[in-house]
Amino acid sequence: MKFIFPKKVFGWLDEREGKKLFELARLDSNLGVAVEIGSYEGKSAICLAQGNKLVSKEKVYSVDNFVGDPYVGRNPKMLQNFLKNIKEAGFEKHIEAIKADSPQAAKNFNKPIRLLFIDASHDYGSVKKDFLAWFPHVASGGFVAFHDTTSFEGVRRFTEELKEADKLVYLETVASIAIFKKK
């Protein structure tokens, strides 16, 4: 399958970032599932599902409150738009939307994660809270990626702190996605 960037889906992910998510979703499928925190209207979910579909029968899990936040505003049709976009892209059977607060969803999640993509609220406290809630589910050798590390101070600051952590290895930054691997 050739990667096709979902240009018509609104969102802030650029094509290089989408291609990187596609590539990450194709790695180490035996370690677990792919999960994204912060889905908006589905652009990153579609990129992840394209790679995931090549290596796994599992779905990509997209966790979002689907109502918005201070950065994107409130949108009562966000979940409806998300579901429409993934259906139009042909991935409705490959992506499962979880409409919930991220830390609460993490408490109820029971699968090992091979790829965790964090792109929800971008303030430092929210990024840290999402990471701490979901990181215990990430398998050893799994990947954790953060979006908007170059454009939001909270995300940049938290990922800079992680570069010093002993549980992760910083791999690279592609556009504004910082990628780590769990030891």
> What would the DSSP string read from start to end of 134-149?
HGGGEEEEEEEEES-T
- Strands 73-74, 33-37: pairing is unpaired
Residue-level pLDDT at 75: 84
Residue-level pLDDT at 58: 97
- Assess if residue 45 is contained within a domain: yes
What is the Cα–Cα distance from 115 to 137, expressed in whole angstroms? Answer: 10
Residue-level pLDDT at 60: 98
DSSP bridge pairs for 168:
182
Residue-level pLDDT at 23: 98
Structural domain boundaries enclosing 86: 35-101
Residue-level pLDDT at 74: 82
Tokens read off for 16: 């290089």
Residue-level pLDDT at 29: 92
Q: How many helices (H) and strands (E) does the chain have?
A: 6, 9
pLDDT digits (tens, 9 = 90+) for 51-86: 999 999 999 999 999 998 777 778 889 999 999 999
Q: Extract the residue ranges of the chain whose pLDDT is less than 50.
A: none
- Assess if residue 182 is contained within a domain: no
Number of domain units in the chain: 1
- Assess if residue 95 is contained within a domain: yes
DSSP bridge pairs for 174:
177
What is the Cα–Cα distance from 19 to 164, expressed in whole angstroms? Answer: 27
